[in-house]
């Protein structure tokens, strides 16, 4: 009797060892079980799982720009948003489709472009509200950098003191951001962080962005070029900011 | 056994067999040596509780046999070890079975050893006159764990890599000689091919040699003092009279070890062996689980079962108490175990009369169990989708400059969050980063991110200098408003020229 008990204990102990034998890779970042990206719940769930980490829980107050900004939605066409979401933007915004390129880590690299488009439509339904689009349009334009420098001193330098932690001319900051990102920051501002959309004209904005881009350090001149990344299936990790 | 009669009185066949045997016996005395061992009297109460020691020995013998076979197939070269194991698994006939047996038998040996120790502890067998037997046993326990640990390293896969990482972190914490101890363990400042050679030598020559010698000593001591009787409440050990009383009782009631007690050992060992073969067949060899790549955090490496609890512990304790928990506590524990019989070698042996000791075992088992579970489950494994699904806490977004905000994005994008908590959310593999600026300076943060350390991968190759700068700027903002920062707040550190030159 006691013997059987002991044997059972030992058996259980040995079987317990089985836990250590699970292939470690078995806990994997599974592609999100999207509960229908054509439903509001599906969109909310995918946003929470894939975007909220950087763009904020409800599309505001994230480390990256707010996606719930109605002005942004009114201005940006779907194609541009789909492109950024599918392929990524710079090194910090990962792509979420099979076409995803570069970035230190590839996100899900699993969605079809059609899924991304459906998702973006859902986001638009959730966040776009009526009103005028921003006058500057949606395409990044780079104007005259020297004009931009003067405009910057006049309109921006008071808040973005050079050399301070608020600087937007910090070479490291500029190395990490794309022209698209700079441009969006000026055109749409960061309403959630107390920065209103710019009141400058579209041409002036083009000049200011050109000025900031011209201050990007030479060692980051190729935009987001990096040595080949181990996790990237594509050895060519160079890429442009936007098509 | 020595008495076979004169060979001349038997038939030719018996003579052909027995002749050489008795010659051998006459010249070596092996039989005369073994006979008393086999027939020495053991208490009749020595029942099924006493089989674990034999089972441990049986698994150890199996380890030696399978280990020797493996040593003929394995080459301790960092660049080839992984392919080597794959080769053994796929090309060598029954190579996978050999590896499976060796790996699982190692776990089984640890399990049997622990059962044996717990039984000896609960029955207070370590009391007079068997103190030395216990002390040698504690050393054997450490050696067994060391063998299991070094063996796991020989797989030279990711699990091994993370395992040594923690080992090195523990060595690093030894005061004064930490750096040297780490160098001794790793064969250099970093985990490299030198490390593998070192662990190979330990696993194949040094540790087994010492273990075999100590097993011999352990057995000699067991024979010298005889097998203890089952404890009875109300019959305390009195060093003055114990030996005499034991001898008397053994003479009257004792049964010969062979076959009376040995048959239980054999039944148990046989069943355990069958179970082992079944497990080896079903579960297959352990690892190798992927080539070690310190920057590959997509996988979920973890150490082998006997060490999971340490890793669970390490991932749970606050950084401030790490030295205490990782270095001092094991030292105290081991010393306590070794010296245990010196502090209480007389008195009651029955567990019913030693409730605190029983409580201690229950507590220890619960703690190790929970920690093992923790090590196997949640905190140890990174939260795989934290980086994209857990928003940076709003208070860490507000009042941050543009570069610092980028740093917050890098924390997400580089998946720091999978291992580190922010605002109570995220992986628990590394320490929470909410007040990291009170602990580390700019330089230390740069070093931690670029070179990793402890159990953290090095990000040097995966992050650009601008991303590194951004993430460190962000981390420098991580301190409670009322607590001082390691580097002066607000004062902008000059952009380090080497950061720019790295490009």
Residues B106 and B172 in one domain: yes
Residues B306 and B420 in one domain: no
Residues A158 and A113 in one domain: no
Structural domain span for residue A101: 40-127
Q: Nearest residue of A to residue B473 by CA position? A: A165
Token pair recorded at residue B456: 């953290």
Looking at the domain assignment, is residue A204 inside a domain? yes
Point out the residue among B293, B403, B503 whose CB comes nearest to the CB of A219. B503
Q: How many domains does chain A have?
A: 2
Residues B359 and B398 in one domain: no
Token pair recorded at residue B204: 């194949």
Point out the residue among A18, A23, A49 whose CB comes nearest to the CB of B388. A49
Q: Cβ contact (<8 Å) for B467 and A91?
A: yes
User: Which residues of chain B lie closer than 8 angstroms to A6, CB-CB?
Assistant: 48-49, 51, 268
Q: Nearest residue of A to residue B47 by CA position? A: A3
The neighbour count for residue A75, using CB atoms within 10 Å, is: 20
The neighbour count for residue B208, using CB atoms within 10 Å, is: 18
**Mean pLDDT highest for which of A61-65, A237-241, B155-159?**
A61-65
Residues A110 and A151 in one domain: no
CATH of the domain at B347: 1.20.810.10
Q: How many domains does chain B have?
A: 2
CATH of the domain at B412: 1.10.760.10
B276-334 pLDDT, tens digit per residue, is: 999 999 888 887 765 554 444 444 556 778 887 877 776 676 656 667 777 788 889 89
Q: Cβ contact (<8 Å) for A53 and B417?
A: yes
Residues B214 and B275 in one domain: yes
Higher pLDDT residue, A102 or B150?
A: B150
Start-to-end C-alpha separation, chain B: 82
Whether chain B has a CB inside 8 Å of the CB on A53: the answer is: yes
d(CA B163, CA B129): 39
Residues A94 and A166 in one domain: no
d(CA A186, CA A206): 10
Residues B361 and B450 in one domain: no
Q: Cβ contact (<8 Å) for B279 and A15?
A: yes
pTM: 0.60
User: Which residues of chain A lie closer than 8 angstroms to B300, CB-CB?
Assistant: 24-27
Domain boundary among A64, A97, A127: A127
Residues B410 and B336 in one domain: no
Looking at the domain assignment, is residue B72 inside a domain? yes
- Mean residue pLDDT of chain A comes to 77
Nearest to B106 by CA among B61, B69, B52: B61
Whether chain B has a CB inside 8 Å of the CB on A16: the answer is: yes
B43-63 pLDDT, tens digit per residue, is: 887 678 889 999 999 999 999
pLDDT in tens, chain B (503 residues): 444 545 456 778 888 888 888 888 888 888 888 888 888 888 887 678 889 999 999 999 999 999 999 999 998 887 777 778 888 888 888 889 999 999 999 999 999 999 999 999 999 999 989 999 999 999 999 999 999 999 988 887 767 766 776 677 677 677 778 778 877 887 766 566 778 888 999 999 999 999 999 999 999 999 899 888 888 888 888 888 888 888 888 888 888 888 888 888 999 999 999 999 999 998 888 877 655 544 444 445 567 788 878 777 766 766 566 677 777 888 898 999 999 998 888 888 888 888 888 999 999 999 888 888 877 764 445 566 777 889 999 999 998 999 999 999 999 988 888 778 899 888 777 788 998 998 888 888 988 888 776 667 777 767 888 899 999 999 999 988 766 665 544 444 444 333 433 32
CA distance B273 to chain A (A): 11
Residues A45 and A79 in one domain: yes
Looking at the domain assignment, is residue B19 inside a domain? no
d(CA A115, CA B214): 66
Residues B162 and B270 in one domain: yes
Residues B233 and B260 in one domain: yes
Residues B258 and B312 in one domain: yes
Domain boundary among B376, B404, B427: B376
User: Which residues of chain A lie closer than 8 angstroms to B159, CB-CB?
Assistant: 24
Residues A181 and A226 in one domain: yes
Domain boundary among A101, A127, A153: A127
Looking at the domain assignment, is residue A132 inside a domain? no
Residues A155 and A119 in one domain: no
Please tell me the predicted confidence (pLDDT) of residue A23: 27
Domain boundary among B347, B376, B405: B376
Residues B307 and B413 in one domain: no
Residues A54 and A106 in one domain: yes
Residues A100 and A151 in one domain: no
User: Which residues of chain A lie closer than 8 angstroms to B389, CB-CB?
Assistant: 48-50, 52-53
Looking at the domain assignment, is residue A9 inside a domain? no
Please tell me the predicted confidence (pLDDT) of residue B485: 61
Average pLDDT over residues A41-56: 91
Q: Cβ contact (<8 Å) for A61 and B290?
A: no
Residues B222 and B348 in one domain: yes
Looking at the domain assignment, is residue B24 inside a domain? no
Whether chain B has a CB inside 8 Å of the CB on A52: the answer is: yes
Looking at the domain assignment, is residue A117 inside a domain? yes
Q: State the alpha helices, DSSP H only, in B202-261.
A: 207-225, 242-253
Q: Is A179 in contact with A221 (CB distance < 8 Å)?
A: no
Please tell me the predicted confidence (pLDDT) of residue B488: 46
CATH of the domain at A99: 1.10.760.10
Residues A114 and A185 in one domain: no
User: Which residues of chain B lie closer than 8 angstroms to A91, CB-CB?
Assistant: 413, 464, 467
A215-235 pLDDT, tens digit per residue, is: 998 776 443 333 333 333 333
Residues B367 and B405 in one domain: no
Q: Are strands B421-422 and B425-426 parallel, antiparallel or unpaired?
A: antiparallel
User: Which residues of chain A lie closer than 8 angstroms to B411, CB-CB?
Assistant: 63
Structural domain span for residue B489: 386-500
Nearest to A86 by CA among A100, A65, A106: A100
Q: Nearest residue of A to residue B158 by CA position? A: A24
Q: Nearest residue of A to residue B499 by CA position? A: A172
Domain boundary among A127, A157, A188: A127
Q: State the alpha helices, DSSP H only, in B284-354.
A: 305-316, 322-323, 329-343
């Amino acid at each position: 009797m006691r013997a059987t008990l002991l044997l059972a204990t030992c058996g259980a102990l040995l079987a317990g060892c089985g836990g250590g034998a699970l292939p470690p890779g078995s806990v994997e970042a599974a592609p999100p079980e999207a509960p229908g990206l054509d439903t509001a719940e599906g969109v909310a769930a995918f946003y929470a799982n894939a975007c909220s980490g950087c763009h904020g829980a409800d599309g505001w107050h994230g480390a990256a720009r707010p996606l719930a900004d109605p002005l942004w939605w009114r201005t940006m066409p779907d194609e541009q948003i789909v492109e950024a979401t599918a392929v990524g933007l710079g090194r910090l915004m990962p792509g979420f489709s099979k076409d995803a390129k570069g970035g230190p880590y590839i996100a899900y690299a699993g969605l079809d472009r059609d899924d991304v488009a459906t998702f973006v439509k859902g986001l638009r339904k959730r966040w776009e509200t009526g009103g005028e689009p921003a006058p500057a349009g949606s395409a990044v334009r780079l104007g005259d950098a020297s004009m931009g420098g003067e405009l910057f001193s006049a309109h921006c330098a008071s808040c973005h003191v050079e050399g301070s932690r608020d600087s937007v001319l910090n070479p490291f900051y500029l190395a990490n951001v794309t022209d698209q990102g700079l441009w969006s920051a000026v055109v749409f501002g960061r309403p959630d962080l107390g920065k209103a959309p710019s009141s400058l004209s579209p041409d002036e904005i083009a000049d200011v962005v050109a000025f900031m881009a011209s201050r990007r350090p030479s060692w980051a001149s190729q935009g987001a070029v990096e040595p080949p990344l181990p996790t990237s299936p594509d050895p060519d990790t160079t890429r442009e900011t936007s098509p | 056994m020595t008495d076979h009669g004169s060979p001349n009185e038997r038939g030719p066949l018996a003579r052909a067999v027995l002749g050489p045997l008795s010659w051998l016996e006459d010249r070596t005395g092996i039989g005369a040596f073994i006979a008393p061992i086999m027939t020495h009297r053991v208490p009749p109460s020595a029942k099924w509780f006493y089989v674990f020691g034999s089972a441990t020995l049986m698994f150890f013998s199996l380890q030696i046999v399978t280990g020797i076979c493996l040593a003929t197939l394995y080459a301790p070269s960092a660049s080839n070890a992984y392919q080597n194991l794959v080769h053994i698994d796929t090309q060598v006939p029954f190579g996978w079975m050999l590896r499976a047996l060796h790996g699982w038998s190692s776990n089984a040996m640890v399990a049997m050893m622990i059962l044996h120790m717990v039984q000896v502890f609960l029955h207070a067998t370590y009391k007079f006159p068997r103190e030395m037997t216990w002390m040698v046993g504690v050393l054997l326990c450490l050696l067994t764990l060391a063998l299991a640990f070094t063996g796991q390293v020989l797989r030279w896969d990711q699990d091994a890599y993370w395992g040594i990482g923690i080992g090195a972190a523990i060595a690093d914490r030894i005061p004064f000689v930490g750096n040297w101890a780490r160098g001794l363990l790793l064969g250099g400042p970093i985990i490299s091919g030198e490390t593998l050679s070192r662990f190979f030598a330990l696993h194949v020559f040094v540790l087994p040699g010492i273990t075999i010698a100590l097993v011999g000593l352990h057995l000699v001591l067991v024979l010298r003092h005889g097998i203890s009787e089952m404890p009875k409440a109300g019959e305390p050990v009195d060093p003055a009279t114990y030996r005499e009383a034991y001898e008397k009782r053994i003479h009257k009631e004792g049964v010969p070890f062979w076959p009376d007690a040995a048959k239980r050992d054999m039944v148990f060992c046989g069943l355990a062996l069958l179970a082992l073969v079944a497990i080896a067949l079903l579960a297959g060899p352990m690892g190798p689980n992927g080539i070690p790549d310190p920057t590959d955090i997509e996988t979920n490496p973890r150490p082998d079962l006997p060490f999971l609890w340490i890793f669970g512990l390490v991932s749970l304790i606050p950084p401030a108490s790490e030295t205490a928990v990782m270095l001092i506590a094991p030292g105290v524990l081991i010393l306590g175990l070794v010296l245990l019989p010196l502090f209480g070698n007389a008195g009651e042996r029955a567990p019913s009369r030693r409730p605190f000791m029983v409580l201690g075992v229950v507590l220890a088992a619960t703690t190790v169990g929970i920690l093992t579970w923790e090590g196997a489950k949640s905190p140890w494994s990174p939260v795989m989708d934290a980086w994209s699904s857990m928003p940076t806490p709003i208070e860490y977004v507000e009042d941050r400059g543009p570069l610092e905000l980028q740093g917050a994005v890098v924390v997400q994008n580089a998946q720091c969050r999978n291992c580190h908590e922010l605002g109570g959310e995220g992986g628990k593999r590394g320490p929470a980063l909410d007040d990291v600026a009170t602990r580390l300076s700019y330089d230390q943060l740069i070093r931690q991110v670029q070179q990793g350390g402890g159990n953290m991968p090095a990000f040097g190759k995966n992050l650009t200098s601008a991303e590194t700068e951004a993430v460190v700027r962000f981390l420098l903002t991580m301190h409670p408003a009322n607590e001082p920062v390691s580097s002066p707040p607000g004062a902008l550190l000059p952009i380090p020229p080497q950061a720019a030159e790295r490009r």
